[in-house]
Amino acid sequence: MANSSYAGLPGRLRASAPGWTTRSDVVVIGSGIAGLTAALRVHAALNSRTDDGSANQGATVLVVTKTVLNAGSTQWAQGGIAAALGPGDTPEQHEHDTLVAGAGACDPDAVRALVTEGPDAVRELIALGTNFDHRDGVLSLTREGGHHRDRIAHAGGDATGAEIQRALIAAVEAAPEIEVIQHALAIDLLRSADGGVAGVTLHVIGEGQRDGVGAVHCRAVVLASGGLGQVFSQSTNPSVSTGDGMALAMRAGATLRDLEFVQFHPTVMYLGPDSRGQQPLISEAVRGEGAFLVDFEGNRFMQGQHELADLAPRDVVAKAITRRMHETDKPHMWLDARHLGAEFWEKRFPTILGVCRSHGVDPVNELIPVAPAHHFASGGVATDLHGRSSVAGLYATGEVACSGVHGANRLASNSLLEGLVFSRRIADVLPAELRAWAEPAPDEREAHLASADVRPAMQALMTDNVSVLRSEEGLSAALDALPELARTTGSEGVEAWEATNLLTIATALTTAALGRRETRGSHWREDFPDRDDDRWAGHFDARLEDGVVDVSFHPAPASDLTEGAIR
């Protein structure tokens, strides 16, 4: 129903013809919790003995990652991983909190799978060697925004992602039959005559035979390439989060869903108006341990706004901070965690303490300046309950995917869990449905590359018009300006491939945000300040057709609108 007025997004990225070719049954793109779990589980599943004579014995799995194995968002995750593991907690309570945070846009079946399979998935991560924090021999669990129970397992205090990443890399390194190619950007999918997966083109910065653009022929691709943070000028995401997997999937004909639901983390350390790129996150777990927000006059403005006050769901807190910033004409608010004390800070939040101090703020004695900034894409490549996209042989898991568990606003610490649970679910089905080897068909799609130089202008457009608070005027202004940036011409290379991917996703995201004329979860429209279940309970699907983003609205089935989901 909503079309971008744009006719310049490429059907494929301009790139040299492949100078080398290799083969692997399955290619996993990305090396965070979702990618490495998928690689380990898919490899094990393919090679396990089956009653019908182990048809897939010897099947190979190749992991490709844009820079190095631990460069993605998993490494940076602070708070932890949510699962109903504590006394008195149940999957039903976790389900309830997830649905409420998701503001009526979750897929209830996906949420059910997440919360019921989550505890075992975390136990398996522990069995794999992940050292979660314990107190008196018992797994230590904390609370974050939107959770009514302590259910966040953490490691190294506030270094949960780094510890999970370490354990998964060790497991992959102990499985030499899983091949890894680092410094490999996935450019485009190769498709067979039936439109399904036949391979993927890569650009590798390597030495020897696999250097430059090459092709990997394969029978399935698992996308686990993370999010799109670099669409905005400031994000908690690392520099590698350039929406590559989402854009690749769109060019291959896949449907993307819920792109307008971009999560802005309420407490990102404010480093000044000119700060760009990855910004320091102050985990919600700091508020979970008792920190609270204050304005410049020391007022605790979250009190009375929500029953959970400073621990309200993330969208509620981000909106309250933004409102207070506007009301008081200030560029940020403050987080007060002084009362936690030096000893507690050093033990529980050593990473955040170090980062704050490196920026000249000592949270033991001083308030931390905080403001909302981009944090997470709740939408992505639309998948079913087993990670299947709408393209045969293409699966997606983790932040690149829209499995339906996050709805309009992801519940804190459900993202690592999503990657874990849905990668396991892909491994459950992939061996039985592995496609036959197929030759890539000639690719007639129009190739183009935008100039890498347009990236700061695109980020400024998106930050000014498509951030926490949106309006028809701002969204239209962004959609009017994006095509001119995309029509520029760039030279082949990582910077231009990334810029073109970012422009593709920025256009789709903005088109969906313009279409959703209501406020729901993290999508906040100042011109449509209320949630409208009669008109907008459902999803925006985005597809790329002949260079144009086509976004269509699909009402949710009535069965999805359970009481919990629409509360």
Binding site for ligand SIN (CB under 6 A): 78-79, 283-285, 376, 412-413, 415
With residue 34 as reference, give the H or E element that holds it.
Answer: helix 33-46
Any idea what DSSP says for residue 224? -
CA distance 170 to 167: 5
Q: Which is nearer to ligand SIN, 78 or 255 (CB)?
A: 78
Distances (CA, A) of 283 to 63, 257, 547: 30, 27, 39
Which candidate in 287, 314, 424, 520 is catalytic? 314
User: What are the residue ranges of helices labelled H in 487-550?
Assistant: 494-515, 533-536
Q: Which is nearer to ligand SIN, 105 or 549 (CB)?
A: 105
CB of residue 276 vs ligand SIN: minimum separation in angstroms? 21
Q: Which is nearer to ligand SIN, 237 or 459 (CB)?
A: 237
For residue 374, the cross-strand partners are: 235, 264
CA distance 488 to 506: 16
Burial label for 307, CB within 10 Å (0-12, 13-18, 19+), is exposed
CA distance 127 to 502: 38
CB of residue 283 vs ligand SIN: minimum separation in angstroms? 3
CB of residue 414 vs ligand SIN: minimum separation in angstroms? 7
The one-letter amino acid at 212: G
CA distance 237 to 77: 10
CA distance 242 to 227: 7
- The alpha carbon of 461 is separated from its chain's Cα centroid by a whole number of angstroms, namely 21
Q: Which residue's C-beta sits nearest to ligand SIN?
A: 79
Q: Which is nearer to ligand SIN, 412 or 458 (CB)?
A: 412
12 is an active site residue? no
CB of residue 81 vs ligand SIN: minimum separation in angstroms? 9
CA distance 423 to 22: 24
Q: Report the candidate in 22, 71, 19, 63 with the shortest Cα–Cα distance to residue 42.
A: 63
Return the residue matching tokens 């087993």: 386
Q: What is the CA radius of gyration of the chain?
A: 22
CA distance 165 to 168: 5
Q: Which is nearer to ligand SIN, 78 or 383 (CB)?
A: 78
CA distance 42 to 40: 6
CA distance 455 to 67: 20
**Do residues 405 and 418 touch, judged by C-beta distance below 8 A?**
yes
Q: Which is nearer to ligand SIN, 363 or 515 (CB)?
A: 363
Tokens of 341: 């004390």
Q: Which is nearer to ligand SIN, 78 or 230 (CB)?
A: 78
Return the residue matching tokens 């649905």: 99
Any idea what DSSP says for residue 229? G
CA distance 253 to 543: 7
CB neighbourhood size of 449 (10 A)? 21
CB of residue 399 vs ligand SIN: minimum separation in angstroms? 10
User: What are the residue ranges of helices labelled H in 72-129?
Assistant: 91-101, 108-127
CB of residue 164 vs ligand SIN: minimum separation in angstroms? 13
Q: Which is nearer to ligand SIN, 107 or 284 (CB)?
A: 284
CB of residue 370 vs ligand SIN: minimum separation in angstroms? 11
CB of residue 502 vs ligand SIN: minimum separation in angstroms? 21
Q: Which is nearer to ligand SIN, 196 or 369 (CB)?
A: 369
CB of residue 388 vs ligand SIN: minimum separation in angstroms? 25
- The catalytic residue positions are 314
